[in-house]
Amino acid sequence: MTNKANVIQMHAAPPLEDVHFITEHVKLKEKISSGCDDNMKNYVTREELNHAVDRLSSKIDLSEAHTETKLANLEAKIENIPDKINLALSNHDKVQRQEHRETQRFLWGTIAIGGLSLIVTIISMFL
């Protein structure tokens, strides 16, 4: 048997332009009752939100710890820069001093050899 509440009398039927609205309303009710409403996909429950916040918070904490570690390493490297510069300058000074000594030896050797050859030439002229 049919339910009398579902039967619509012809004279009580909605106008034809309202039929589209009614069918959309029925479809929307079906979507809501089945849990597949497209509009509801944009919303979350408190539990889902809290879970997402906790996950993001832990990721942020890990990222901060990683960044702090990197900054500490960078700070240690920056602190070592003056020592490295002093070491490089010290090595450069040692090399320059060594080159200066070699240049002085060369000049004194050239002067000595030139002087000896001059003395030998003078002696050979008088003999």
What are 9-61's pLDDT values in tens digits? 555 555 555 555 566 666 666 666 665 556 667 787 888 889 989 999 999 99
Say yes or no to pLDDT of 68 above 80: yes
So what's the pLDDT on residue 59? Answer: 92
Say yes or no to pLDDT of 105 above 70: yes
**Distance, CA of 88 to CA of 92 (rounded, Å):** 6
Decide which of 40 and 63 is more confident.
63
**DSSP letter for each residue of 35-61:** T--TGGGG---HHHHHHHHHHHHHHHH
Q: Is the Cβ–Cβ distance between 51 and 58 less than 8 Å?
A: no
So what's the pLDDT on residue 42? Answer: 75
**DSSP letter for each residue of 48-109:** HHHHHHHHHHHHHHHHHHHHHHHHHHHHHHHHHHHHHHHHHHHHHHHHHHHHHHHHHHHHHH
